[in-house]
Chain A
Amino acid sequence: MTIEQISIFVENKAGGLSQVTKTLADHQIDLRTLSIAETPDFGVLRAIVNDPGKTAAILTEAGYICKITPVLAVAIDDRPGGLHKVLQLLADNGINLEYTYAFVTRASDTAYMVVRVADNQKAIQVLTESGIPLVNAKDLFAL
C-alpha cells in the first residue's frame, strides 16, 4: 500500500526549479503534490506524479538526478487534531518520521499526508490497525 514518490536534485540557482517544471510540463506530467527540502546550496524536490517511471526516465534523459522512493499516502480528517492523531500513532510505535507534507483535493473534505518513514511495513500495519485509511496511487489520481 505504498505509492511512488520521485525526488529530484535541484541546484540553488536562479531558474533551477523552473527548468524542472518546464521539463515536466513539456511531457504532460501531472503533479498531484510536491514539497521542497532545501539547504543553502541545493534542494530536493519531492513530487507525487501520475507516472513516476516515465517521469524518472524523462528527467534522467534531461540530465537530472532523481530517485523513486516508496512512501505512504495517508488520508486524514481535515479538522483540528487530524494530523496529530497520525503522528502520535507513529511516535507511540517508535516509527521515525523522516519527513511529511500535506495536500488537499477539490473533491472531498479529506486531507492527505505524504509520509516518509524508515519502516513502511510497520507503519502500514500500525495505521491500518487503527483504522486510518491509506490511499494507493490509482485512487490518488482519481481524486
Chain B
Amino acid sequence: MGNYFQPEIECASQEQIRAWQDERLVKQVRRVYENVPYYRKKMEEKGVTPDNIRSTADLHKLPFLTKDDLRDAYPYGLLATPLKDCVRIQSTSGTTGRRVVAFYTQHDIDLWDECCARAIVAAGGTKDDVVHVCYGYGLFTGGPGLNGGSHKLGSLTLPMSSGNTERQIQFMCDLGSTILCCTPSYAAYLAESIYERGVRDQIKLKAGIFGAEAWTEEMRQDIQDKLGIKAYDIYGLTEISGPGVSFECSEQTGMHINEDHFIAEIIDPNTGEVLPEGEKGELVFTSITKEAFPLLRYRTRDICVLSRKKCSCGRTHVKMSKPMGRSDDMLIIKGVNVFPSQIETVLMNKGYPANYQIIVTRENNSDQLEVQVEMTPELFSDSVSEISKKEKDLINALKAMLGIYAKVTLVAPKTITRSEGKAVRVIDKRNLYQS
C-alpha cells in the first residue's frame, strides 16, 4: 500500500480516467488524421472522420493497425511529428520486413520514463534504491526504458546491460543493488549463479522487475525463493513505447495498464469485434499521449483478459492478465521476437528445402532455439568439414536475421513429419502460457 509514483494519476477515479481518455483520444485522432496520411487513408476507407470520434465510446469505429501496416509504412509513414522534433529511435530485432522502428520526441521519452518509474515504485522502489538494469541497451527498449524510469525516480541507476554474469554479480555485491531489472530467464540464471558462488548473503536485492518474455508462476516462485526477493512482471512493446505499458503491483495478479496514456481493448482476433470486459481475446492499444509515433488501435497479437476488479494496492487502472498466447505465430525467444517466416527465408536463401522444424525449449530457465533441416544431395559432401562449414554458414545467417543463436540440426531426408494441410513448423516445449 502507498507505493505510488504519481498517486493522483495511478489512483484516480474511473470517471477521471475516462475523462482523460475521452479528451486525449479526440485530440489524438485529429492530430493523426491531419499528420499521418497513411492512417487518414485507412480512416477514409472506413468512412470515418475525426468528427465521428467524440469519446472512447467511438473508439471501435477506428481502423486497426497491424505489424503489416508498420512494414508498409516503414520507416516514416506513421510519424505524426516532423522528424526534426524527434530525439530518439528504438527498434525491435528482425528483418526489414518485420522490424519495428519507433520514434520519440523528448516529451514521449519523458512520459515513457514516468511509466517505468511507476513500475519501479510499484515494486517498492524509492530514490534510495540501487536499480540494477541488465536488460540490453541500444535499440532494444528494455535497457533504455527501465534506465529512464530509474533516473526519473531519482534512484541510483546501474546501466549494466546484458551479459557478463561474473561482473553483474560483482557489482551487485560491491554496490548493493536492491532492484534487479532483466528478463525472467536471465534472473533465473543469475539466481543460480549467485547460489553456486555462495554469495547469496552478500547481495541486497529486495525486488525484481522482469519482462520482455513470457514466464510462468512456477518460474516466479523459483526466482523469488532463490533470490529472496519479490518478482514483478512488466509488459510493453516497442510499437507502443517499450516496457511500462503495464506493470505489476504488490498483489501480483495482473498488470495495471497506464490508462492515462494507453487505451486497451480486447477483441475477437478473427472478427475484430470488441469483446466485453473479462473475456479472453487479443489486446489492442491506442496511444493517446504519444507525439511522434502514436499508433491507434494497434493489434498486439497477445491474447489476454482485462479486469477492473478493485485492486488491493489502491491503483484504479485496469489490469491485464499475463499474455496467454499469441494470435499469430510470433515466438519470443530470449526476449527476442522471432517469426518462423524469418527462419524460412534464410533457409530458402541458403538452398535448404522448405521442410523444416523449429523446436523451442527452456533448459535451466534459458530459451534454446533449434532449427531442424533436412539434408539434400546438393548440400551433402563426403567431407564432414565441408558440411560443417555450410552448417556454420547457416547458423551465422540465422544469427544475422534473428539476432540470436539457433542450433542447426541436419536430419535425414523425409524425416520431418509432413502434415496434410497446415504444416507444424514450430514445436514450443516451454509451455509458457497457462490457460
Contact = CB atoms under 8 A, between A and B. Distances in A.
Interface of A: 5, 7, 9-11, 16, 37-39, 41-42, 44, 46, 63-67, 69, 98-99, 116
Nearest to A42: B410
B414 A63 contact: yes
A9 B412 contact: yes
Task: Specify the main secondary structure of chain A where it touches its partner.
Answer: strand
Contact of B382 (A11, A39, A42, A46): A46
B377 A67 contact: yes
Interface stretch (B86-94, B208-216, B383-391): B383-391
Given A9-B375, A39-B388, A44-B387, A67 B412 contact: no
A66 B380 CA distance: 8
By size class, the interface of chain B is 10 to 19
5 contacts: A11-B411, A37-B384, A42-B410, A63-B412, A65-B380
Interface string B359-392: 0000000000000000111001111110110000
A9 B377 CA distance: 9
B410 A41 contact: yes
B143 to A, nearest CB: 35
Contacts, number: 53
A65 B377 contact: yes
Contacts of B276: none
A44 B387 CA distance: 10
A16 B409 CA distance: 16
Identify whether the interface residues of B are mostly helix, strand, loop, or mixed. Answer: loop
Interface of B: 375-377, 380-385, 387-388, 409-415
A59 to B, nearest CB: 11
Contact of A5 (B382, B388, B411): B382
Nearest to A6: B382
Contacts of A69: 382
B362 to A, nearest CB: 21
A67 B375 contact: no
B269 to A, nearest CB: 38
B415 A11 contact: yes
Contacts of B410: 9, 41-42
Given A42-B410, A63-B414, A65-B413, A9 B380 contact: yes
B412 A11 contact: yes
B384 A39 contact: yes
A9 B412 CA distance: 7
Nearest to B408: A41
A99 B383 CA distance: 8
Contacts of B409: 41
Contacts of A11: 411-412, 415
